[in-house]
Structure 1
Amino acid sequence: MTDEFDDALALANGPAGAAPAAARGAGRRGVARPRHAPAEGAAHVGPAWESARATAFRSVRPLPPRRLPLDLALGHTLAAPLTALTDLPAFDTSAMDGWAVAGPGPWRLTAGEPGLLAGAPAAGRLTDGEAVPIATGARVPEGATAVLRSERGTAADRRLRGPSPQPGADIRPRGQECRSGTELLPARTTLTPAALGLAAAAGYDQLAVRPKPRAEVLVLGDELLFRGLPHDGRIRDALGPMTGPWLAALGAQVMVTRRLGDDAEALHEAMSTSRADLIVTTGSTAAGPMDHLRAVLARLGAHLLISGVAVRPGHPMLLAELPGGTPLVGLPGNPLAAVSGLLTLAEPLLRALADRPAAAERHGRLTDEVRGHPEDTRLVPVELPEPDAARPLTYAGPAMLRGIAAAAALAVIPAGGARAQDRVRLLDLPAA
């Protein structure tokens, strides 16, 4: 069968997009090679969808660590645990504006406004019955037993009056958050803005990280136009503008998107000279007269790790290992089929390169029945109108983008289909 089956399903599923409800192992040393390559023109026979994802994840080693300054580390993965280089806070600090007081009141003020400010050196020791104005974040002087909030006290004639606070009130004690040497974040954590703030607070200027994998996109096909309206049998390239941003959303650093047409020599040169950690091609994964990808891979001596996957749309996708160890993901030329390839092969492969763990599985209940392929997994665009609900969308054929452009996730439909209220796995789509 071909992806024409998916087009037929998209039409048969009706206006709601579904029929109405009715009754890290081998690394770059290699993984198991397929025993057979399909005969030219034959249907692609490949691993099951989940098995293909596992193979992609196992097919590479994490990239070597490097050190980056904090302002360049966002989105990278920690190569080692983040441990505190100091106590947090590093000294007792005031949690509020007010007065540092020693013992019960009333108190004698030892200084006037502004008193102790954040960033100022330590002040002299307080003795019982003394107080000093203090700002939020300022270092609490020795001898202080609490901080009296500004709204609770009255200062006049160098005297402070107010209710005596409980010992330790509104003081952030040294080491309250952590002690020096405490593990703050484990290795393999993706660095978020908050994580970078924590690293800075803990004393870091640089971090050891797994770098974002560098990706190169090669767009294939002489039939593609790169501006204007379709004409004379040629169509607009939808994958070039989409693939790079999608890879970036999956954690890659996209170096370049190159448009090579159906030039086998240009493809050979691009693949043999690339400095990327991952090459992604669009189109040319089948066995048509102008599909040169497999022949060029054979000419380069690449190892074909996956030649087709039992998933619709996108079953002609492939995964190869170039002689230098660089992985190549071949996406089918139909847009939704290409998205299937990105989430089936590129997403787990990028996680492995960046040493990020596999994403936690998420599930939802279908609002409508979805017809399935008799043998293969099917990926169907869905919207999520409620936290546990997944509504299949129309325009879900392999050549269509309209459905996935409105979708929040892809539902993983097992062979044979799924009924309304069945729980299915959901693959989240990039939000931006």
Structure 2
Amino acid sequence: MISVEEATSLIHSAFQPLPAEIVSLDSALGRVLAADVSSRVTQPPADVSAMDGYALRAADAGEGARLHLIGRSVAGGGFAARWLPGETVRIFTGAPVPSGADAILIQENAEVRKAKGDEETEIIVHVPPKPGQHIRRRGEDFSAGDVLLHAGRRLSARDVALAAAMNVPWLSVRRRPRVAILATGDELVMPGEPLGPDRIVNTAGFLAAAEVQSCGAVTQMLGIAGDEVRALETRLAEAEGADLLLTIGGASVGDLDLVPSTLAALGFEFAFHKVAMRPGKPLLFGHLGRMPVLGLPGNPVSAGVILLLFVRPAIEAMLGLSTHQPLPTARLGAPLPANGIRQDYVRARLQRNSDGAPVATPLPVQDSAHLHAFAQAECLIVRSPSAPAVDTGERVSVMLLDQPAFSGTPPA
């Protein structure tokens, strides 16, 4: 049995960033950049108006000044004719500022005089603008050649919009890892199937699939293999070519825990089997040929903790994301006794106290088979082996269950 730190090191060293592929912007959301992205354009491309109003020379626009209206500038169609002192151009938001103008008079600060036919011909200035007022200067946002998106960034909707503004239609991103998932056990049935007296629903398999997908990988569901060597071998063969195989159940030392022996017969190279952690002790890791394999216990809470500790970082490593995040801390909401010899991951609620500080309160139920309690938890309190008892109010390290990274105060 090895420590969590040793297991983390062995698993992390087995994964490298996957090759890049090219995707269009409409397929880029949530993908991870494999290369920096430079702008192909300057934004704004010219001096443009930030408001609807009138482009003019500030020197001409004293309070009460009358200016002759000679044209208009709209987005996509600027005003290019010559103009003289005492003249102005109607302008709209995003339209290029005519050469010679140095300010925008917003329409609310002007009185419009109209000739017959309801055509605007003259304005009267009520609130004089300052030079440069309401003008967005060329390149104020960014310039051609600026590197605005960097490799290793998971793309948000805002990032996709920025890439579009940079006039970049295609992006180089990491290929999504393919993770094969195989649940094992004669007792398992799929959700919705008839349940006999000795049957249970395959919950850990769907927990694994959801977690894998939330990390940005794609799943290959291999279904359920019964407790029979040939059935296991058949399903394991279907995982060939996957970037990672997760087996669920059958990884302990019981007579029907056939996963380790079946893998060994197929040439599996064991890196370790059993980790000093609670829950999740019967974890195995190694390689079947070139394919990394993680054997998870069947209890859904144990599987869920392992998915957070080991599977999520493995996927992030394949996507080229940083996997080293310092653990945040929170105040303890209830006392905890001294810990045993295994590293413990205590399921807890996470809330704010009256001062806005995060408080982690252990749930009363910590059984590794109780999925309802696990679903109510927002974090895991991390307790080192043989850690002493801690009192209410002391600081403890936590891992968030639903966020890949944490900064600041968690949501209430």
In the superposition, the TM-score normalised over structure 1's length comes to 0.83
Structure 2 residue runs without a partner (length 5+) = 115-120, 405-412
Structure 2 residue aligned with 1:219: 183
Q: How does 1:281-292 map to 2 (within 5 A)?
A: 281-292=247-258
- Residue equivalent to 1:327: 292
Instruction: State yes or no: 1:269 paired with 2:234.
Output: yes
Q: In the TM superposition, what are the counterparts of 1:237-252 in structure 2 within 5 Å?
A: 237-252=202-217
Q: Is the 8 A contact 1:52 1:344 kept in 2?
A: no
**Which residue does 1:180 correspond to in 2?**
144
CA-CA distance at 1:360 after TM superposition? 4.3
SS at match of 2:73: coil
**Paired position in structure 2 for 1:430:** 402
Contact 1:409 1:428 in 2 (8 A): yes
Aligned equivalents of 2:201 and 2:238: distance in 1?
28
1:161 is aligned to 2:124: yes
Give per-residue Cα distances to partners, 1:350-394, cap 9 Å, x unaligned.
Answer: 110001002343111211122354211101111112142101112
In the TM superposition, what is the alpha-carbon distance from 1:415 to its structure 2 partner?
A: 1.9
Residue 365 (structure 1) aligns with: 331
Q: What is the distance in 2 between the residues matched to 1:242 and 1:92?
A: 53
Q: 1:321 to 1:120 in 2, by over 3 A?
A: farther
Kept in 1: contact 2:207–2:300 (CA 8 A)? no
- Give the counterpart of 2:370 among 400, 405, 409: 400
Higher strand share: 2
CA-to-aligned-CA distance 1:48-102 (integer Å, 9 cap, x gap): 2233223322211100011111111111111112222211222222111112223
Query: What CA distance in whole angstroms lies between the structure 2 residues aligned with 1:331 and 1:79?
Result: 30
| Deviation (angstroms), 1:126 | 4.6
* Aligned twin of 1:236: 201
CA distance, structure 2, for counterparts of residue 99 and residue 424 of structure 1: 60
In structure 1, give the amino acid aligned to 2:28.
Answer: A
Counterpart AA for 2:402:
P
**Residue 110 of structure 1 pairs with residue 70 of structure 2:** yes
Q: Which stretch of the first structure deviates more once superposed, 285-294 or 346-355?
A: 285-294
Letter of the 1:78 counterpart: L
TM-score by length of 2: 0.87
AA matched with 1:124: A
User: Do the aligned partners of 2:48 and 2:135 also contact (CA within 8 Å) in 1?
Assistant: yes
Q: Match for 2:337: what amino acid?
A: R
What letter corresponds to residue 8 of structure 2 in structure 1?
R
- Sequence identity (%): 32
1:120 pairs with 2:77: yes
Report the counterpart of residue 416 of structure 1 in structure 2. 386
CA contact (8 A) 1:188 1:357 kept: yes
Alignment partner of 1:311 is 2:277: yes
Where in structure 2 are the equivalents of 1:29-178 lying within 5 Å?
Answer: 45-46=1-2, 48-103=3-58, 104-105=60-61, 106=65, 107-111=67-71, 115-120=72-77, 123-157=80-114, 158-162=121-125, 163-178=127-142
Q: Describe the SS at the equivalent of 2:351.
A: coil
Q: Deviations over 1:258-281 (max 9, x none)?
A: 222224333323333423222211
| Structure 2 residue identity aligned to 1:156 | R
Q: For residues 311 and 251 of structure 1, what CA distance do their matches in structure 2 show? A: 26
Q: Do the aligned residues in 2 keep the contact of 1:395 with 1:401 (CA within 8 Å)?
A: no
Distance 1:94 1:300, change over 3 A: farther
Deviation at 1:194? 0.7
CA 1:50–1:148 in 2, change beyond 3 Å: closer, same or farther?
farther
- In the aligned structure 1, how far is the partner of 2:254 from the partner of 2:403? 35
Matched-pair contact (CA < 8 Å) for 1:215–1:280: yes
Q: 1:244 to 1:109 in 2, by over 3 A?
A: same
- Does the CA contact (< 8 Å) of 1:240 and 1:257 recur in 2? no
> SS where residue 369 of structure 2 aligns?
coil
Show the 5 A alignment for 1:181-220. Answer: 181-220=145-184
Q: 1:402 & 1:63 partners in 2: Cα distance?
A: 36
**Whole-angstrom distance in 2 between the partners of 1:231 and 1:250:** 34
SS of the aligned residue for 1:321 comes to: strand
Residue 22 of structure 1 is matched in structure 2 by none
SS of equivalent to 1:384: strand
The unaligned stretches of length 5 or more in structure 1 are 1-44
Amino acid at match of 1:108: H
CA change 1:263–1:372 in 2 (3 A) is farther
Residue 336 in 1 paired to residue 308 in 2? no
Q: How many residues align?
A: 383
SS of the equivalent of 1:216 reads strand
Larger relative contact order, structure 1 or 2 (CA cutoff 8 Å, min sep 6)? 1
Q: Deviations over 1:239-265 (max 9, x none)?
A: 123221121122222233522222433
Q: Which AA in structure 2 matches 1:426?
A: V
Q: Deviations over 1:314-337 (max 9, x none)?
A: 0111222221x2222211011111
SS in 2 for 1:382: strand
Q: Is the 8 A contact 1:217 1:244 kept in 2?
A: yes
* Correspondence for 1:27: none
Distance 1:123 1:407, change over 3 A: farther
Question: Which has the higher mean CA deviation after the structures are superposed, 48-57 or 191-200?
Answer: 48-57
- Once residues 311 and 102 of structure 1 are traced to their aligned partners in structure 2, the CA distance between those partners, rounded to angstroms, is 73
CA RMSD of aligned residues (A): 2.1
Q: How does 1:286-305 map to 2 (within 5 A)?
A: 286-305=252-271
Check conservation: 2:20, 2:174, Cα contact below 8 A. yes
Whether contact under 8 Å (1:218, 1:280) holds in the other structure is: yes
Q: Distance in 2 between matches of 1:125 and 1:364?
A: 66
